[in-house]
A = this chain, B = another copy of it.
Amino acid sequence: MRTFIDRLLVRSDLTEGEQLALLGLHTREAVIPAGRDLRRYGEQSDYAAIISAGVVGRYHQARDGRRNFVAMHLPGDMADLCTTVLKDVSFGLEAMTDVTVELVSKADLLALAHLHAAISQAFWRDCVSDTLLIAQHVVRVAGLSARQKIAHLLCEMAYRLSVSDHQPRLQFNLGLTQSQLGDFLGLTAVHVNRMVREIRDIGLAVVDRRSVSIDDWDGLKRQGDFDPKYLSIPHASEQI
C-alpha cells in the first residue's frame, strides 16, 4: 500500500490524514505464479490488486482466445483501480512473472473516495495515467517498426523501473522472455529475437536472458522515437 501511495503522491497531493486513511485499509497478500491469471478475462472481482513484485500484463481476449496486451503493470501500480468505478470492464490480468499483490476491497476504496475529494481525484488521476500508458502503447504497436517497438518498450521500462529519482534505469531484470515481449508487442518470438540481436549489434542495448542492459540511452531513445512525457514523471522533460 505504501508503494501505491507513493505512486499517487508523484502526481497528486494528499494530506497526512488522507494518507493515513489509505494506509488504514485492510489488505491481504496473494502470490500468483508466472503464467497464471490474476483475473481471468471477463471475470469480476471485489478486490483491487496493488502489485508488490513482478510484472502483470493487462490483456483483452479475442473470440479465438488470442490475447492482445494493452499495458504492463509494475510494482506500485494498482492494476485494476479503474474497475472500482466501472464494473463490467472486461480485461484480464496475467502474471507474466511470479507476482505478489496486495488485495484491497473496492468497496473500501470507493468509500474513501466518497469521504475525501482529494483521494477521489487522486484515483481519477491515476486512471488517467493508465490511459496515457495505453495510448502510448497504441503509438508503439501501430506506429513503429518491430525494432523501434522493442527500443521504445525498453525505454519505457527503464523509466518505470527507475528506483526513486525518476532517472532511467540502465540495467534491470525485466523477467520476461523474448516470446513474452513478442506477445506484448504483437510480434513473433522469432522476429523479436532478430530485432534484439540488431539492437545489440548497433550497440544500443543488450537483452540477455530476461535482463536488459542499456549501453546507449540516447541512441535507444532516438531509435524508439521515445518521449517520456506520457509517463508524467517530474523533470523528465529536462532530460531530452
Could you list which residues of chain A lie within 8 angstroms of chain B, going by C-beta atoms?
Answer: 11, 58, 60, 62-64, 66, 68, 70-71, 82, 85-86, 88-91, 113-114, 117, 120-121, 123-125, 127-132, 134-139, 141-143, 186, 225, 227, 229-230, 232
Contact = CB atoms under 8 A, between A and B. Distances in A.
Q: Give the number of times this chain occurs in the complex, counting copies.
A: 2
Contact of A113 (B82, B117, B136): B117
Interface on chain A toward B: helix, strand, loop, or mixed SS? helix
Given A85-B128, A86-B129, A232-B88, A70 B139 contact: yes
A159 B227 CA distance: 34
Contact of A85 (B63, B124, B134, B135): B124
B86 A11 contact: yes
B121 A127 contact: no
B89 A132 contact: yes
Given A134-B135, A141-B141, 10 more contacts: A58-B135, A82-B128, A82-B131, A86-B232, A89-B230, A90-B230, A120-B120, A120-B124, A130-B131, A131-B131
A77 to B, nearest CB: 14
